[in-house]
Structure 1
Amino acid sequence: MTDENQEINLLRRENRALEDDNYQKCEIISELKEKIKKLEHENLGLRQQVEKYGLQYIDDINNPLEPLKLKSALDSEIFKYKYRKKHKPKDVSILDITIMYALKHCLDEQIGKQAD
């Protein structure tokens, strides 16, 4: 075999190896594109779900029963606070008072909105 033939055979083998490598890379790219499509679809679903929950929260704030829910929650917290204060004074924390204040504040805002 001549040097020229050997060089041609070597180039053919290198070309085949490169073609195989390119084919494998194309398969990997194709798989990655499919995964990206699936992730984009899942992401869209999650975005829609978050948007739905946000709208649900906004709708719930405008619910006429919201002050009643806040009043019940505040009454419950006051009851727990009084019980703890009487029977377990060490269990009373600043968080109890903070929760009651936050509920009272929200209730006042809701009543103020309804009065307007």
Structure 2
Amino acid sequence: MNLKAGQVFWYEVDYPKTGETEIRPVAIVEIIDGLPIFVVFVALTHSKIKNFEGKYDKWKIPLFKGRDCGLGESSFAKVNCVAQAEASSFNSSDYIGQLNPIDLKNVKKKLMEFLDSGDGFW
């Protein structure tokens, strides 16, 4: 399968701090040396960002066109939930859609802010 930045898939995510796993929508943000980097979405949430500097909301960014790619109207990307995965772990049957270029650009920009911040992942 030929992966591209902006593609959204259902994917089994492992949470490192709790050891829990769940199927979540994820977006491919970039592909480096053949390894996709993805951001985990808080998909279909209706909770607004309440505290832009708060622990849970600080690294959340709205997807303005999330509905266009198969996500809910109030979808957000949490850019502090980042991981790499082998391209072979993505299946075409789990494909949801393609992020709008504006949403992908905003996610990448927020991701760079997070990486430069020194804050911890997950």
Pick the TM interval, shorter chain: under 0.3
Q: Looking at CA atoms only, which structure, 1 or 2, has the larger radius of gyration?
A: 1
Q: TM-score, normalised by structure 2?
A: 0.22
Q: TM-score, normalised by structure 1?
A: 0.23
